[in-house]
Amino acid sequence: MKKYDIYGIGNALLDLDFEVSVETLNRLNIDKGVMTLIDENKHHFLLEELDSVKHLKACGGSSANTIFAMQQLGSRTYYSFKIGDDAAGEFFYQNIINEGIHTNLNDYPREGITGKCIVLVTPDADRTMNTFLGATSNFSVEQLSYNAIVNSEYLYIEGYLVAQATGQIAAIEAHQHAKAHGIKTAISLSDPNMVTYFKEGLLKIIGDQVDILFCNEDEALLFTKTESLSHAREELKKYAKSFVVTLGAKGALVYDGDAFALVPPYKTKVVDTVGAGDIFAGVFLHAITEGHDYVSAADFANYAASKVVSKYGPRLNNNEMNEIQSFLLNKIAAI
């Protein structure tokens, strides 16, 4: 048995979630509903403009949210990341350690400003992200733990790494190392903008194929250059042995390598969609590493996603994750 269920890499970001109006987005000249990379000056400008707005603070980044979810459910996790030498970085690090997530952060010096994701949630529950990468813009092969990769059942890569040169190289290197040692790989396409502007980089990371690919419907259509999910799902077979396409209120489409299945959603009042895809991936990966099939794993993940979108913020706390765990156990007992 491997030492870790999952080894994750991604952009470590301090998530700052603000509730704002569409008018505020327009006033600040921000594109609604997507992730946009911003520079340090824009980062300072937005924080000053939003200084009086109520907000939540949490350790974030797509892969981090996924790893946190798995750790909370009892998976054995390892996360490689890069943060700055500042208060935000210390907050992030302590949160990682307190949760029991393994990391090699102490093997290299911290420097610079910790990255932040300024998440703007509008009344329609849409989320708009302005991301200042900060220290994580220099995430590279130096942050990889090759030993932890080969001692993990899965390598998990967030697609956002494709946006910076060193991060893309690190993701390619990690995938190649995992593949050379028979470690299964999973990747999330992360965001429509990553597919639109960095598809060639994503293809380099994916290489011949990955074992599992996560995406939403928009990302699937953009990535495959198709206009229907029925066509996109056939094209995705070229890039992944199996995959999951999340469909929001329509549930999720899963392909386990043999057959397709549409897994229905759990109805909920949507407040904030931040982190929905991340927690879906985390619960799904936890379930399959525990031996569950893809349909059951997607059902569990849909339930978890329904909980995270019904509140503000990208993650569920330990009590809420205990409820997810109880749900899983009750479902299993009923089978």
Least confident residue range of 46-55, 194-203, 223-232, 309-318: 309-318
Total length of the chain: 335
> Among residues of the chain, what percentage have pLDDT more than 90?
80
* Residue 335 reports pLDDT greater than 70: no
**Any residues with CB less than 8 A from the CB of 162 and at least 6 apart, and which?**
168, 171, 194, 198, 201, 202, 205
CATH number of residue 153's parent domain: 3.40.1190.20
Angle at 83 between CA 66 and CA 105, to 5 degrees: 80
Please provide residue 216's backbone torsions phi and psi, each rounded to the nearest 5 degrees.
Answer: -100, 180
* Residue 212 reports pLDDT greater than 80: yes
Alpha helices in 151-244 (DSSP H): 165-180, 192-206, 217-224, 229-236
CA torsion sign, 122 to 127 to 130 to 136?
positive
For residue 187, the surrounding DSSP H or E stretch is strand 184-188
Q: Alpha-carbon distance 49 to 43, whole Å?
A: 10
Q: For position 326, what pLDDT does the model report? A: 87
Q: For position 271, what pLDDT does the model report? A: 85
Q: Alpha-carbon distance 155 to 212, whole Å?
A: 10
pTM score over 0.85: yes
Q: Alpha-carbon distance 205 to 90, whole Å?
A: 30
Alpha helices in the chain (DSSP H): 22-27, 40-49, 62-72, 87-99, 146-150, 165-180, 192-206, 217-224, 229-236, 276-289, 294-308, 318-334
Range of the domain at 26: 4-334
pLDDT band, very low/low/confident/very high, at 66 (cuts 50, 70, 90): very high
Mean pLDDT of 109-137: 92
* Residue 328 reports pLDDT greater than 80: no
Q: Alpha-carbon distance 71 to 1, whole Å?
A: 17
Instruction: Find out whether 30 and 323 touch, Cβ atoms under 8 Å.
Output: no
Whole-number mean pLDDT of the chain?
94
* pLDDT tens profile 68-119: 999 999 999 999 999 999 999 999 999 999 999 999 998 888 999 999 999 9
Q: Alpha-carbon distance 110 to 124, whole Å?
A: 38
Q: Into how many domains does the chain fold? A: 1
Nearest to residue 135, comparing CAs of 154, 116, 151, 121?
Answer: 116
* Residue 272 reports pLDDT greater than 90: no
Mean pLDDT of 232-257: 97
Q: For position 321, what pLDDT does the model report? A: 86
First to last CA, the chain: 26
Nearest to residue 308, comparing CAs of 4, 58, 83, 31?
Answer: 58
Nearest to residue 189, comparing CAs of 285, 118, 271, 281?
Answer: 281
Q: For position 293, what pLDDT does the model report? A: 96
pLDDT band, very low/low/confident/very high, at 322 (cuts 50, 70, 90): confident
* pLDDT tens profile 33-45: 888 889 999 999 9
The DSSP result for 140-170, as a single string, is -GGG--HHHHHTEEEEEEEGGGGGSHHHHHH
Alpha helices in 82-160 (DSSP H): 87-99, 146-150
Q: Alpha-carbon distance 23 to 26, whole Å?
A: 5
Q: Alpha-carbon distance 36 to 130, whole Å?
A: 5
**Any residues with CB less than 8 A from the CB of 109 and at least 6 apart, and which?**
85
